[in-house]
Amino acid sequence: MKTFFTSFFFSFDVIFFKFKFEFFNMPELPEVETIRIALSNKLLKCKILKVFLKSKKLRFLIPYNIKKVEKSYIKKINRKGKYLIFEINSGSKLLMHLGMTGFFKIQNKYIIEKHDHLIFKFEDFFLTYNDVRRFGFIKYYSDNEYLKSKHIIKLGEDPLLTNFNEKYIIEKIKRKNQNIKNFIMNQENIAGLGNIYCSEILFDSNISPLRNANKIKMKEITKLVISTKKILTKAIKFGGTSLKDFKNPDGKLGYFKNRLKVYDRENQSCYKCKDKGSIKKIYISGRSTFFCNNCQK
């Protein structure tokens, strides 16, 4: 299964960064955080002169009242799990999800591209949202009502925050009669994890993805919390799981793909036990899962 890829393109007349994702892998927390950081570095305190709706057809129709952000500026860009939240100085909010193939591009001069949906014109550049499969969405909220939306209200704790700890996992895991892979991938338990990082985190924790969640011991929960924060932090440092042509805004290469220990390594040797062919691929709830048959119990 292909991983999604993220790439930056630079030219003399266009500063163009582009995050693009393959169909089968929705961007997870590290990729969305990488996007948040890149957008924050460029957009904050910049005035939105005009909003153009090129195509409203996403998972939900882009609301026409999104044009209310015109003549305002972006005060802050937050993230909750896989969601981006643009805070506008007027108090309004834009809630965004990239779906499978959504990406942003910044251009000094707008160059039309197929599947462009929304264009923000700033004084010196354009920000465009492009989405081939149209699974992403952008919603406008006049205030903090987005916190009560069906997208946000049931989300579990963000694993990079201090509230994500052993106590939190213990409370969530009680009476959960499901395997640990499905537990940590459930957005109502932990916000932001997907196929790639669930496999990597469980490998780092030495926990089999097939283990029943409510049978996980206390010391294993501690390790799970530590591994989750460690893997995600490293992935963000390297710009997420991307191909080698990806460049950070400073021009340096950055990718986490070459640091994956189990994901997409079926029948290869384990980096821990060194056993040849011990990395196995199985399907849990229809999703590919990779693990070491020796190290993970």
Provide the whole-model pTM.
Answer: 0.86
- Select which of 80, 82, 105, 223 is catalytic: 82
Q: What is the rounded distance in angstroms from the CA atom of residue 202 to the CA atom of residue 15?
A: 38
Residue-wise pLDDT tens digits, 221-249: 999 999 999 999 999 998 888 633 333 33
Task: Identify whether 133 is a catalytic site residue.
Answer: no
Domain ranges of the chain: 5-148, 166-292
- Tell me, yes or no, if 28 is annotated catalytic: yes
Phi, psi of 283 (to 5 degrees): -115, 125
How far apart are the two ends of the chain, measured CA to CA in Å? Answer: 25
In a 3-state reduction of DSSP, which class is residue 231? helix
Q: pLDDT tens for residues 150-169?
A: 999 999 999 999 999 999 99
Q: What is the CATH number of domain 166-292?
A: 1.10.8.50
128 forms bridges with which residues in the sheet? 105, 119
CA angle (242 as vertex; 240, 245 as ends), nearest 5: 130
Predicted pLDDT of residue 46: 96
Which CATH number is correct for 5-148, 3.40.50.2300, 3.20.190.10, 3.20.20.80, 3.40.50.720?
Answer: 3.20.190.10
Nearest residue to 240 via CA among 219, 256, 261, 251: 256
57 among known catalytic residues: no
Active-site residue, from 42, 133, 272, 287? 287
E strands within 54-174?
74-80, 83-88, 93-97, 102-107, 116-122, 126-131, 137-141
Asked if residues 283 and 210 have their Cβ atoms less than 8 Å apart, the reply is no
Does 230 qualify as catalytic in the annotation? Answer: no
